[in-house]
């Protein structure tokens, strides 16, 4: 029985292990795909090839003409996959930026005003935290309809409450420190104190929080697109592809598997990467 | 009695305020989404008809009057009719509720029945290959979105093996795949959390003391470690319910399960706002009461917390 010995001498963690390296590699590959999708895709995502409908991928009876096979209209799955990754990452990037900006703004406002304003904001944060975002997003989509701009803005609401809570805590801690009160004593405007001094000092932690928000937005986006309520055709996203693949699950499982595997591997990779980043950059976030 | 009230009072007030905020939110969003008269009567409606409609539904009143009326109507559970079905929205939602509950309750039970033992087992065999592989599996469990997991399960168990039906809710076997899909992700989260709570507890001095006085290891785990490790897991349960509700929407869509989730998706696609708002409020009410219940239970399980109100911050 080894419980009697207090475990303090655990070996120091190696700086980068194999899973982390793989995760970094995959995420870089995804970013590259998103950037270079027009160069990498052999076909237009809407170009129809009716003679090669539901063609299987290479290795399962397919030809090099369509490496990952084709869908029900003979559209190239690989090309659609590249563009889907591009759309999904683009939406997630925009939304994460909005979420961090909105959250930080609200958190700083709560930290600056304190009192009633802070209480009201905290209550709203609690309410948002207790509601599943997917349901709120669906309700807003029902009311406002859907367009890409609106959809990105809506996704940007994801996680604002977590970022706000974090930013508020960081700002309160920071303003109690010497440098913030020094600039305040020197007569700096509160905006200057917050934007030029407190924000840069909180940025690392906020960025780590963004790496948590980002993959979650990818998942929510693909979920909504899967339901047919997110990214709309003719644009394509990973969720749109999964939804289309569902119809042909018995005859052309590659239509479903290709985007599903990308979602699964990306989500796992980002989660591994996030853990590593958190350990590296900010030990206090554990 | 007053101590109980001091503990529960602020939490109750908070829960009430939360609901009011959600009701206000729906009111604002509904009003901001456009003129209800135009939406219901259509763009080709004549001006006098629009005017009459607005007067009939009180839309010509000042906004604060409309707001108070809206809150009062919500208190009376009057949410109007579904545009699609022509029935009261509330009735429509309640007709679907049993099927969704029949999915969620077994899934939640599964979450606990798999999550807690697996997490505790991993903690007791910390840093062995069992622990590592379980933890690897849980990463997949909580990162794979439910609609992908559901479709993969259909591909394996319905299409390839032909063991379970891929959709519908008419046979007992129909329950297996949706419940698994909904439960596995939660089980992974609970397992990870139980593991870390258990590791924390196992390093406490009272565990060392209990082992030192000769209590068998099995009893130490059963009577000293597990009960203390489960308390924090309970709070997580309240938080996880939200994920389960969102998951249920996707899982119902994957398996063609005619519950509230599908109703929501269809209503959103057709912009049937009366139904959407009922579902939103129902979810808010459920989540708020669940969190309130967890907060209060926390006080029951951990008497040290009764005097304080810092638990929620």
- pLDDT, tens digit, for every residue of B64-85? 888 888 888 888 877 777 777 7
Query: In the predicted model, is pLDDT for residue A282 greater than 70?
Result: no
Mind telling me how many Å the CA of B286 is from chain A's nearest CA? 10
A83: Cα separation from own chain's centroid: 17
Query: In the predicted model, is pLDDT for residue B8 greater than 80?
Result: no
CB contact under 8 A, B148 and A242: yes
Mind telling me how many Å the CA of B238 is from chain A's nearest CA? 9
CB contact under 8 A, B249 and A263: no
The residue of chain B with its CA nearest to that of A19 is: B136
Judged on CB neighbours under 10 Å (0-12, 13-18, 19+), B176 is: middle
Report the range out of A272-286, B29-43, B176-190 with the highest average pLDDT: B176-190
Range of lowest pLDDT (A31-35, B13-17, B128-132, B166-170): B166-170
For residue A72, the model assigns a pLDDT of 76
Which of B253, B272, B284 minimises the CB distance to A131? Answer: B284
Judged on CB neighbours under 10 Å (0-12, 13-18, 19+), A1 is: exposed
CB interface of A with B, residues 86-115, below 8 Å: none
Largest pairwise CA distance in chain A: 75
Query: In the predicted model, is pLDDT for residue A270 greater than 50?
Result: yes
* Angle formed by the axes of helices A253-281 and B146-153, nearest 10°: 140
**CA separation (Å) from B97 to A125, A131, B104?**
28, 18, 10
For residue A132, the model assigns a pLDDT of 87
* Structure-model confidence comparison of residues B210 and B311, the more confident one: B210
The residue of chain A with its CA nearest to that of B276 is: A139
- pLDDT, tens digit, for every residue of A80-127? 899 999 999 999 999 999 999 999 999 999 988 888 888 888 888 888
Tell me how many degrees the CA angle A240-A246-A248 measures, rounded to the nearest 5. Answer: 120
Q: Residue B81's CB: how many other CB atoms inside 10 A?
A: 16
CB contact under 8 A, B211 and A1: yes
Q: Residue B206's CB: how many other CB atoms inside 10 A?
A: 12
Q: Answer for the pair A131, B284: CB distance below 8 angstroms, yes or no.
A: yes
For residue B196, the model assigns a pLDDT of 87
Residues of A in contact with B193 (CB under 8 A): none
Classified as helix, coil or strand, A70 is: strand
Q: Residue A156's CB: how many other CB atoms inside 10 A?
A: 22
Side-chain half-sphere CA neighbours of B106 within 13 A: 13
* Structure-model confidence comparison of residues B256 and A6, the more confident one: B256
Compute the average pLDDT of residues B1-11: 73
- pLDDT-derived band at B28 (thresholds 50, 70, 90) equals confident
Compute the average pLDDT of residues A15-27: 84
For residue A5, the model assigns a pLDDT of 47
For residue A284, the model assigns a pLDDT of 55
Range of lowest pLDDT (B62-71, B166-175, B238-247, B271-280): B166-175
Interface mutation vs chain A, best among B246, B265, B284, most A CBs within 10 Å: B246
Q: Mean of the per-residue pLDDT values for chain A? A: 83
For residue A106, the model assigns a pLDDT of 93
- pLDDT-derived band at B312 (thresholds 50, 70, 90) equals very low
Classified as helix, coil or strand, B88 is: strand
- pLDDT, tens digit, for every residue of B237-256? 777 888 888 888 999 999 88
Tell me how many degrees the CA angle A35-A37-A38 measures, rounded to the nearest 5. Answer: 110
CB contact under 8 A, A227 and B144: no
Query: In the predicted model, is pLDDT for residue A4 greater than 60?
Result: no
Residues of B in contact with A256 (CB under 8 A): 151, 155
- pLDDT, tens digit, for every residue of A169-185? 988 888 888 888 888 88
CB contact under 8 A, A143 and B29: yes
Query: In the predicted model, is pLDDT for residue B116 greater than 80?
Result: yes
* Structure-model confidence comparison of residues A33 and B173, the more confident one: A33
**CA separation (Å) from A131 to A6, A156, B218?**
41, 16, 40
Interface mutation vs chain B, best among A4, A131, A261, A263, most B CBs within 10 Å: A131
Compute the average pLDDT of residues B121-129: 86
Range of lowest pLDDT (A3-12, B127-136, B206-215, B278-287): A3-12
The residue of chain A with its CA nearest to that of B146 is: A223
Compute the average pLDDT of residues B38-58: 75
Compute the average pLDDT of residues B199-217: 84
Residues of B in contact with A228 (CB under 8 A): 265, 269
CB interface of A with B, residues 127-146, below 8 Å: 127, 130-136, 138-145
Contacts of B145 (CB under 8 A, 6+ apart): A219, A222, A223, A263, A267, B250
CB contact under 8 A, A226 and B208: no
Percent of chain B with pLDDT over 90: 4
Kindly provide the ipTM of the predicted complex, given to two decimals.
Answer: 0.81
Output the six-digit token pair for B15: 């829960």
Percent of chain B with pLDDT over 70: 92
User: Which runs of E-coded beta strand occur in chain B?
Assistant: none
Interface mutation vs chain B, best among A19, A227, A228, A263, most B CBs within 10 Å: A227
The residue of chain A with its CA nearest to that of B266 is: A227
* Structure-model confidence comparison of residues B169 and B257, the more confident one: B257
CB contact under 8 A, A143 and B32: yes
Q: Answer for the pair B265, B272: CB distance below 8 angstroms, yes or no.
A: no
- pLDDT-derived band at B311 (thresholds 50, 70, 90) equals very low
> Distance between CA B242 and CA B225 in Å, rounded?
28
Interface mutation vs chain B, best among A120, A132, A169, most B CBs within 10 Å: A132
> Whole-prediction pTM value?
0.83
């Amino acid at each position: 029985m080894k419980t009697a010995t207090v475990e303090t001498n655990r070996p120091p963690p190696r700086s980068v292990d194999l899973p982390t390296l793989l995760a970094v590699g995959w995420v870089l590959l995804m970013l590259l795909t998103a950037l270079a999708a027009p160069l990498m895709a052999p076909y237009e995502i809407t170009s129809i090839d009716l003679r090669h409908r539901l063609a299987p991928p290479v290795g399962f009876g397919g030809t090099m003409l369509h490496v990952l096979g084709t869908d029900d209209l003979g559209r190239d799955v690989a090309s659609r996959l590249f563009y889907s990754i591009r759309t999904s990452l683009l939406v997630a990037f925009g939304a994460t930026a909005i979420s961090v900006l909105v959250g930080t703004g609200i958190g700083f406002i709560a930290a600056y005003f304190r009192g009633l304003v802070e209480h009201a904001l905290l209550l709203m944060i609690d309410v948002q935290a207790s509601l599943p975002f997917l349901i709120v997003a669906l309700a807003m989509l029902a009311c406002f309809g859907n367009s890409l701009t609106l959809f990105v803005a809506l996704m940007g609401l994801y996680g604002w409450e977590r970022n706000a809570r974090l930013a508020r805590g960081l700002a309160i801690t920071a303003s109690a420190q010497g440098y913030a009160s020094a600039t305040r004593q020197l007569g700096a405007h509160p905006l200057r104190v917050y934007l030029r001094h407190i924000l840069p000092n909180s940025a690392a932690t906020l960025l780590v929080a963004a790496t948590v928000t980002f993959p979650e937005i990818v998942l929510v986006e693909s979920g909504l697109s899967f339901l047919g309520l997110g990214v709309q055709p003719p644009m394509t996203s990973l969720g749109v592809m999964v939804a289309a693949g569902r119809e042909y699950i018995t005859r052309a499982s590659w239509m479903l598997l290709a985007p599903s595997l990308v979602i699964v591997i990306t989500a796992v990779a980002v989660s591994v990467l996030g853990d590593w980043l958190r350990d590296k950059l900010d030990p206090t976030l554990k | 009695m007053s101590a109980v009230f001091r503990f529960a009072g602020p939490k109750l007030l908070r829960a009430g305020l939360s609901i009011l905020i959600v009701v206000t939110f729906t009111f604002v969003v509904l009003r901001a989404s456009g003129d209800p008269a135009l939406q219901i009567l259509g763009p080709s409606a004549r001006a006098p008809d629009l005017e009459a409609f607005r007067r009939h539904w009180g839309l010509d009143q000042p906004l604060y009057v409309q707001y108070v009326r809206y809150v009062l109507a919500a208190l009376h559970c009057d949410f109007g009719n579904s545009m699609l079905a022509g029935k009261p929205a509330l009735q429509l939602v309640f007709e679907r509720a049993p099927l969704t509950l029949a999915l969620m309750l077994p899934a939640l039970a599964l979450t606990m029945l798999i999550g807690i033992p697996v997490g505790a087992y991993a903690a007791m065999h910390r840093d062995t290959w069992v622990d590592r592989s379980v933890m690897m599996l849980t990463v997949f469990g909580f990162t794979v979105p439910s609609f992908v997991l559901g479709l993969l399960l259909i591909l394996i168990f319905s299409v390839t093996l032909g063991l379970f039906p891929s959709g519908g809710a008419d046979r007992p076997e129909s329950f297996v795949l949706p419940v698994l899909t909904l439960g596995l992700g939660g089980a992974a989260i609970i397992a990870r959390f139980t593991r870390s709570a258990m590791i924390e507890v196992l390093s406490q001095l009272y565990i060392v003391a209990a082992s030192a006085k000769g209590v068998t290891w099995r009893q130490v785990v059963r009577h000293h470690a597990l009960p203390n490790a489960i308390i924090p897991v309970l709070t997580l349960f309240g938080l996880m319910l939200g994920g389960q509700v969102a998951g249920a929407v996707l899982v119902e869509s994957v398996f063609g399960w005619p519950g509230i989730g599908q109703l929501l998706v269809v209503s959103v696609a057709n912009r049937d706002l009366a139904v959407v708002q009922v579902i939103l409020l129902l979810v808010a009410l459920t989540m708020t009461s669940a969190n309130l219940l967890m907060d209060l239970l926390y006080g029951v399980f951990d008497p040290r917390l009764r005097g304080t109100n810092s638990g929620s911050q």
